[in-house]
A and B are shown apart, each in its own frame.
Chain A
């Protein structure tokens, strides 16, 4: 996770300078210069793909890494304990990790459309949005580094302290999803991806009405995203049935 964090920051810094140059010069260039910028943009796009895909992989790896740390932290019975050991970076990192896939996916969907169109019509938008996402990308990577450097084998309280009879939430969500009812991982993943693809679709929809290549490619992408969104929701619902069966209280 730490290596992935450093890797992402380094590549982001490289891509950001290139994207900044493209975004700044794009409006005033001649047709020939635009062609040169376009070639430069493909390099940026490839680098950003590597960064974003590595961050999405890190998002999954994050939960696996936290789970593997549990035996190393005294008192930690679930990921809540790991979060306590990595406080305060852990909580911010988790919050950020829950939302980044929506943002990164937007950029990746638009870039896929851009690659399939002649003349890279979304080059300007993609360069600017990448610069806009850059602080988020850096924060995401830096928080991983800070969190995993912060975690030490200190004695932490058990999650039952926070999730008791008196608390608003009686059941620890980490224990519930990762240990008690793991089928909910599939439910959360299915529904999460369904919402994410719907959001990406909503962004892509803006370009579906555009004339020419862009409109055509966006329309095709939109139909794929809409189908994927529905498919993921169905998968989530299918997984929900055994997940609920699992936690139904037995008749005594």
Chain B
């Protein structure tokens, strides 16, 4: 085979390789994009919503749009006066007794007016002692509150929350907690901003350019 034919074959192979890399890149980025955005997040803290969490909370806004939250604390944080929703309808169930003991919260005006059914429902805000959604529970009545304070969880508590509650966990009525947690904590999660993405891209370009410069400086003259 002469040199020209060899060169032509090499160029073809290189073009196929570049094409393959391009297709793989597109496929990977498409899949990762789907993975990143197809799974909903808790708007309050950014936690990914698993099917278990999805089943645990049914939250609707005024227009009937479905919203997500990962724990009872975050459900109320969605009422954030600045970044949140004005009115919410929250349906969940007792972390001690399970799905047969439903708890319905109707919050209006960013938590200023709250109706809870049953009125005996309480939130155990362990997240106030050791920060984290994993320490928050909702209980149907005082017996459930005592049980959760004692045991931390039952088989009805979401699997990722099955830990003991921290000592000193405050027990709070939903209507009292709603306006304060919405105002004081509110929505904290912010998705990656354009500035952050641009920053990452710039860092990448800088490293690539630096490596080209380093290559030119390091490569021995004889080999070059």
Which A residues lie at the B interface, using CB under 8 A?
74-75, 77, 155-158, 160-161, 164-165, 170-171, 175-176, 179-183, 187, 191, 194-195, 198, 201-202, 205, 208, 219-220, 222-223, 225-227, 229-230, 232-234, 236-238, 240-250
Contacts and interface: CB of A to CB of B under 8 A. Distances in A.
A159 to B, nearest CB: 9
B188 A164 contact: yes
Interface of B: 21, 25, 28-30, 32-33, 35-37, 45-48, 130-135, 163-164, 166, 187-194, 196-197, 200-201, 204-205, 207-208, 210-212, 214-215, 218-220, 222-223
A244 B190 contact: no
Nearest to B130: A155
Contact of B220 (A160, A202, A208): A208
A1 to B, nearest CB: 24
A237 B135 CA distance: 41
Given A187-B204, A223-B219, A247 B197 contact: yes
Contact of A237 (B37, B208, B214): B208
B217 to A, nearest CB: 8
B32 A158 contact: no
Contacts of B133: 158, 160
B36 A180 contact: yes
B220 A241 contact: no
A75 to B, nearest CB: 4
Given A171-B196, A183-B32, A74 B163 contact: yes
A155 B204 contact: no
Contacts of A205: 218
A160 B25 contact: no
Contact of A240 (B47, B194, B201, B222): B201
A236 B218 CA distance: 20
A240 B196 CA distance: 14
B197 A248 contact: yes
